[in-house]
Each structure stands twice: as C-alpha cells, then as structure tokens.
C-alpha cells in the first residue's frame, strides 16, 4: 500500500511538472508573438499553476484510489516545498505573504483534484 501511495504522489508531481513545462512554452510563445502586459501575464501564470496542481492532484487521486486529502496535501505540499527550497537556497529569500497565499491556493487546488480523482476511481468500481 505504501508503494502505491508513494507512486501516486510521484505521478502527481510528474503531472505538475509536465503541465508547467507545456504551459511555460505556451506562455513564452504568447509573450514572443503578442503584446501581453505584465499584469495579465502574472494572472495567467497564477491560473496555469492552479490548473497544473489541480491536474497533479487529480492524477495522484486516480492512481492512489484512496485518502484523497492526504494525497492532495502531499502532492501540493511537495510542490510548495520544492519551490521554497529553490527560492531559499538559490535566492536566499523566504516566501512573502503573497506567495504564502498563492501556495495555500495551490495546495487546496491539489487537494480538490485528488479528492475528485479518488471519487472517479471509486465510481468506476461501484458503477
């Protein structure tokens, strides 16, 4: 059970990474070929990150099949921890209050995704 649980979290993290890489390439193309303002770009980045963590939580929940809240906390929390470590060790800065709110939203998004993922799996088995 522990192996499948850990594997589910890894699937979630890989999904987040893949979604963010694809979205980053897409946003780079938008920046290159249009005149998008910085405010709009920041908003798009936030929306993309929330969707990416939702998808990561969803895939973790589908793969895990149980304990959606815990899977979501670990998936979103792992992303937040990685981001914090890169920022703290690389740039010697802690999270600002605004970043804490963003990461709280990311974790909640991953939790919602993993709960839905677990329910999708349970509906397939019961229905």
Per-residue pLDDT reduced to its tens digit, 83-92: 999 999 999 9
Q: Mean pLDDT of all residues in the chain?
A: 91
Q: Are the C-beta atoms of residues 111 and 68 closer than 8 Å to each other?
A: yes
Tens digit of pLDDT for each residue in 37-85? Answer: 778 888 999 999 999 999 999 999 999 988 889 999 999 999 999 999 9
DSSP 8-state secondary structure symbol assigned to residue 89: I
Dihedral angle computed from the Cα positions of residues 103, 104, 106 and 110, in that order, rounded to the nearest 10 degrees:
140
**Six-digit token string for 33:** 């070929």
**Six-digit token string for 11:** 């699937």
C-alpha dihedral sign at 52, 58, 64, 70: positive
Q: Tell me, what's the pLDDT at 31?
A: 86
């Amino acid at each position: 059970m522990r192996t499948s649980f850990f594997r589910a979290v890894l699937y979630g993290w890989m999904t987040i990474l893949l979604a963010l890489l694809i979205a980053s390439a897409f946003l780079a193309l938008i920046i290159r070929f249009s005149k998008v303002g910085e405010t709009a770009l920041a908003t798009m980045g936030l929306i993309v990150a929330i969707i990416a963590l939702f998808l990561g939580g969803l895939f973790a929940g589908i793969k895990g099949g149980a304990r959606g809240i815990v899977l979501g906390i670990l998936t979103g929390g792992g992303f937040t921890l990685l981001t914090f470590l890169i920022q703290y060790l690389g740039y010697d800065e802690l999270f600002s209050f605004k970043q804490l709110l963003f990461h709280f939203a990311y974790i909640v998004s991953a939790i919602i995704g993993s709960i839905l993922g677990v329910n999708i799996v349970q509906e397939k088995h019961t229905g």
